[in-house]
């Protein structure tokens, strides 16, 4: 079936650098995408979302980019901090009621 | 505001035992759902509910039952626990019509021996 996936299982960055986490999706009918952050021992936490009629959306230190042509989603974190260390999931809503999650990318921030 | 509350946080079961994972939300959300998360994998949908009295199957429903008698509560029942059900379980809730940003509980870590 159609699914959401991620290119890199682990991303290691230096503190202060920018991080880019990527996600590929295959369902062209998906109209809404969300990035979640999951810290160890906790439930996923909403970071930022984007609708399919947008290409870019910015939050505080985070930016989500959507490229519908190649069905690609990315999360950019500026000036990565140790507190950003976590697993990041993308999720899609393909016009249904529930979300389909990707496999997750672990972000490790080196001091 | 407690958000989504799951109990228990940890549980060990013997194969064949049954139990209920509790989930409650105080945000008056219509949608509630249960996911399981296995090591190195994303979240997989078990069951979901779009309102009181309405439930439906997700991606991996076998071995689990749910009911939704109130808006606030959405318990997940394991009928006869199997080692394959060892996992971390997350309950989530969301508003209807917002694109379904889900708010998650802290999870229940279940081990079946």
- Which residue in chain B is spatially nearest to A93 when comparing CA positions? B99
Task: Measure CB to CB from residue B100 to each of A45, A98, A104 and give the nearest one.
Answer: A98
Cα separation, B79 vs A89, whole angstroms: 30
Q: What percent of chain B has pLDDT over 70?
A: 96
Q: Would you say residue A7 has pLDDT above 50?
A: no
CA angle centred on A62, ends A44 and A110, rounded to 5°: 80
* C-beta atoms of A43 and B45 within 8 A: no
CB pairs under 8 A between A and B: 59
CB atoms within 10 A of CB B39: 7
Over chain A, what is the mean pLDDT? 88
Mean pLDDT value across residues A55-66: 97
Band (pLDDT 50/70/90 cuts) for residue A61 is very high
Residues of chain B with pLDDT under 50: none
Query: Are A49 and B40 in contact (CB < 8 Å)?
Result: no
Output Rg (C-alpha) for chain B, integer angstroms.
13
Binary contact (A104, B41; C-beta < 8 A): yes
CB of A92 within 8 Å of any CB in chain B?
Answer: no
Pairwise CB contact (< 8 Å): A41 & B100: no
Q: Which of B31, B99, B107 sits opposite A49 (nearest CB)?
A: B99
């Amino acid at each position: 079936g159609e699914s959401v996936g991620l290119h890199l299982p682990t991303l290691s960055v230096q503190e202060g650098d920018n991080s880019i986490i990527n996600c590929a999706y295959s369902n062209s009918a998906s109209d809404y995408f969300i990035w979640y952050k999951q810290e160890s021992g906790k439930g996923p936490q909403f970071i930022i979302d984007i609708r399919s009629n947008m290409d870019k959306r910015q939050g505080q230190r985070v930016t989500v980019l959507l490229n519908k042509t190649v069905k690609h989603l990315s999360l950019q974190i500026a000036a990565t901090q140790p507190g950003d260390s976590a697993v990041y999931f993308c999720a899609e809503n393909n016009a249904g009621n529930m979300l389909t999650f990707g496999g997750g990318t672990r972000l490790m921030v080196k001091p | 505001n407690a958000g989504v509350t799951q109990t228990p946080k940890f549980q060990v079961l013997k194969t064949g035992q049954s139990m209920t994972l509790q989930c409650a939300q105080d945000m008056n959300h219509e949608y509630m759902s249960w996911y399981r998360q296995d090591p190195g994998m994303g979240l997989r949908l078990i069951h979901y509910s779009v309102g009181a009295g309405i439930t439906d199957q997700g991606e991996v429903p076998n071995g689990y039952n749910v009911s939704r008698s109130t808006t606030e509560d959405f318990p997940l029942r394991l009928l006869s626990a199997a080692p394959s059900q060892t996992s971390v379980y997350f309950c989530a809730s969301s508003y209807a019509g917002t694109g379904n940003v889900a708010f998650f509980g802290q999870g229940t870590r279940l081990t079946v021996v």
